[in-house]
A and B are shown apart, each in its own frame.
Chain A
Amino acid sequence: MFCSTVSQDAGGLLCEPTERSKTFKRSVSEYTDHSERFKLKDRTFARQYAHMYAERLCVMRPKLIEAAKKKWGQNVRTKKLFELKAEEKVVVVGTLFKHMELQPSILKEISDEHNLMPQPERAKFIDEADELILEDELQRILLVDKLDKRALVTGVVVAVYGMEPDEDRGKFHIEDYCFAELETQVPVPVKEKDRYVALVSGLDIGSKSENMMNLQLLADLLSGQLGDEGQQEAAANIVRVIVAGNSLSQDTRDKNQMKQAKYLTKKTTASSVEAVKSLDDILVQLAASMEVDLMPGEFDPANHTLPQQPLHRCMFPQATMYPTMHCVTNPYDFSIDGVRILGTSGQNVQDIYRFSCLEDHLQMLENTLIWGHIAPTAPDTLGCYPYYDEDPFILPECPHVYFAGSMPSYQSKVFRDSKGQKVLLINVPRFSQTSTCVLVNLRTLECQPVTFDMSFQEDSFEGEK
């Protein structure tokens, strides 16, 4: 692992200063960007979201039919909903819609006849009375049996095998169901040396409880200024750092300030200005010595709808002087040394948390992989750009590493699909709360957390663990 490469002569720096000290060159890796589909070319919002759902169904239908034939035999019949006959066992492919009573609806809020008080803040919007409905291009039908409606969300494309009974028309009784299979992974080229990619998220600069000390320790470790020569040599193998969203804190989005009229706020500066300056100071230290990818998150000054566009380079005047500084989209898809890495800043997982009964964030991340779609709840409950000719969130290729940022705790797992392909799932925790970053070894495709802790006690100085 990373720390085991600490050299034998630890404490080598505790000597007299010499004229020449050891320097270590940072390894260089091949990088290819695959996030072109997330960059918006035009911004036409005069469209409805029906196009996105139609696109999603159209693209995923052949994959689902293939998976259905594999599971239930080549002779199984696939029908559209309007072709369904009673008591006939068929496979139907469609998009799931979860009808939730508690789902916040702007229509209900502004409707006078309901006389509704504003809903209290809820963590989850699920209810026992939720219903699952399957929609294809023309019709929709209620689904009963088998599918766990509490664990599923709107927008997942599924193939169901079952029939519509004669006495219970309008409902489809499911015997079995399946999702699309993951595409074939491109095999990873074998490497001799260890190379690491650092993932960090949720820096939350600008909050009242910001922890700049631990952040500085992180920057020092990654740029090789922390630790003795062995650790510096190990740090030279970290080729890239990805800041996966929420670099600015939620507190910088002061609601009062945002709602005030412009003429009142003329003399005051937004709290995000100071925070961005601090972020720039940290980023310039990192960018001076390694490749940095900065992804926007939920509370960063970027657009709200997915896919979030890269933060503007004018915000980081010092860091963007270096060519190693890259502002990238959220979600972010790239490959480094042949390892395909895909990740988001966590909004997709957060939204699934709100609208399903699942508690384990890693399980939700795994589910998005099984469903074949990064953010199935977009555009229903997660803001999304109204695409009309593509759905960029469908997984094009099976990634080797799949991460989500701003998670409450560090979790990781190796997911194996039906073809035996392995995907490393990583939940990158919020650095402001856990002071933990994640190092991914590109050679072995394993990851480990690195936690920073400082406590000024009389006896010991605890550096990195």
Chain B
Amino acid sequence: MSSDLITGHFRQKRTTRSSAKRTEPQSTQQTAKPKSVQLGADKQSSSKSETENDLDVLKQFDLNWEYGPCTGITRLQRWNRASKHDLNPPVAVKELILSHSDDSMYTHCLWNDYEL
């Protein structure tokens, strides 16, 4: 039966990602005390979730209609344009972009890979 529904063909990625996010901080809390060997691995997983969080924040900034269209310009350009019009875009977003100024995942918008 599930193969007839579209959900049978396309796996819902959302649940796996959000559950991964939920489980990861829990796992870091649980394994906070333990052996030092595991700490390195946990740090990686926590920083991974931080990256995902950051990218999610940037994605929400892209999708916010108040700041105008997001395609074709860098996020920093869009942020500057929004602040010029006194729309008060969150400063955290600008800091995120500037701290990763060499990574195009951060600087360019969500649909950067799609040509005009």
CB proximity of B85 to chain A, nearest CB, Å: 6
**Is B25 on the interface with A (CB-CB < 8 A)?**
no
Interchain CB contact under 8 A, A47 and B68: no
**Is A137 on the interface with B (CB-CB < 8 A)?**
yes
Interface segment among B10-18, B53-61, B76-84: the answer is B76-84
Q: Closest residue of chain A to B87, judged by CB?
A: A58
Q: Closest residue of chain A to B72, judged by CB?
A: A47
CB proximity of B67 to chain A, nearest CB, Å: 9
* Residue of A55, A58, A138 ringed by the most chain B CB atoms within 10 A: A58
Bound Cα distance from A388 to B74, whole angstroms:
11
Bound Cα distance from A446 to B81, whole angstroms:
41
CB proximity of B112 to chain A, nearest CB, Å: 11
* Residue of B66, B68, B80, B116 ringed by the most chain A CB atoms within 10 A: B68
Bound Cα distance from A308 to B12, whole angstroms:
51
**Is A51 on the interface with B (CB-CB < 8 A)?**
yes
Query: Interface digits, B100-111 against A, CB 8 Å rule (1 contact, 0 not)?
Result: 000000000000
CB proximity of B89 to chain A, nearest CB, Å: 13
Interchain CB contact under 8 A, B77 and A389: yes
Bound Cα distance from A381 to B107, whole angstroms:
33
Bound Cα distance from A388 to B80, whole angstroms:
11
Query: Interface digits, B39-65 against A, CB 8 Å rule (1 contact, 0 not)?
Result: 000000000000000000000000001
Residues of B within 8 A of A74 (CB): none
Interchain CB contact under 8 A, B65 and A58: no
**Is B92 on the interface with A (CB-CB < 8 A)?**
no
Q: Closest residue of chain B to A389, judged by CB?
A: B81
Residues of B within 8 A of A28 (CB): none
Residues of B within 8 A of A59 (CB): 85
Interchain CB contact under 8 A, A388 and B65: no
Query: Interface digits, A43-58 against B, CB 8 Å rule (1 contact, 0 not)?
Result: 0001110110011001
In-complex Cβ contact of B72 among A51, A58, A137 (8 A):
A51
CB proximity of B4 to chain A, nearest CB, Å: 34
Known pairs A48-B69, A138-B65; A388 contacts B116 (CB<8 A): no
Bound Cα distance from A47 to B71, whole angstroms:
8
Q: Closest residue of chain A to B115, judged by CB?
A: A46
Interchain CB contact under 8 A, A388 and B72: yes
Interface size class of A (residues with CB under 8 A): 10 to 19
Residues of A within 8 A of B81 (CB): 55, 388-389
Residues of A within 8 A of B66 (CB): 137
Known pairs A46-B116, A388-B81; A51 contacts B73 (CB<8 A): yes
In-complex Cβ contact of B73 among A47, A58, A137, A138 (8 A):
A47
CB proximity of A406 to chain B, nearest CB, Å: 33
Residues of B within 8 A of A50 (CB): 69, 71
Q: Closest residue of chain B to A50, judged by CB?
A: B69
CB proximity of B80 to chain A, nearest CB, Å: 7
CB proximity of B108 to chain A, nearest CB, Å: 12
Interchain CB contact under 8 A, B69 and A54: yes
Interchain CB contact under 8 A, A137 and B65: yes
Interchain CB contact under 8 A, B116 and A58: no
Query: Interface digits, A23-50 against B, CB 8 Å rule (1 contact, 0 not)?
Result: 0000000000000000000000011101
Interchain CB contact under 8 A, A388 and B77: yes
Residues of B within 8 A of A48 (CB): 69, 71-72, 116
Bound Cα distance from A59 to B87, whole angstroms:
12
Residues of A127-179 at the interface with B, using a CB-CB cut-off of 8 Å, are 137-138
Q: Closest residue of chain B to A61, judged by CB?
A: B85
Interchain CB contact under 8 A, A51 and B65: no
Residues of A within 8 A of B71 (CB): 48, 50
Residues of A within 8 A of B68 (CB): 51, 54-55, 58, 137
CB proximity of B82 to chain A, nearest CB, Å: 9
* Residue of B65, B72, B80, B81 ringed by the most chain A CB atoms within 10 A: B72
Q: Closest residue of chain A to B80, judged by CB?
A: A389
Bound Cα distance from A306 to B108, whole angstroms:
28
CB proximity of A135 to chain B, nearest CB, Å: 13
Residues of A within 8 A of B116 (CB): 46-48
Q: Closest residue of chain A to B68, judged by CB?
A: A54
CB proximity of B78 to chain A, nearest CB, Å: 8
Residues of A74-111 at the interface with B, using a CB-CB cut-off of 8 Å, are none
Bound Cα distance from A233 to B65, whole angstroms:
62
Bound Cα distance from A47 to B85, whole angstroms:
20
Q: List 5 A-B contacts (CB under 8 A).
A: A47-B116, A51-B68, A54-B68, A137-B66, A388-B77
Given contacts A46-B116, A47-B72, A388-B77, 15 further A-B contacts (CB under 8 A): A46-B72, A48-B69, A48-B72, A50-B71, A51-B68, A51-B72, A54-B68, A54-B69, A55-B68, A55-B81, A137-B66, A138-B65, A388-B72, A388-B73, A389-B80
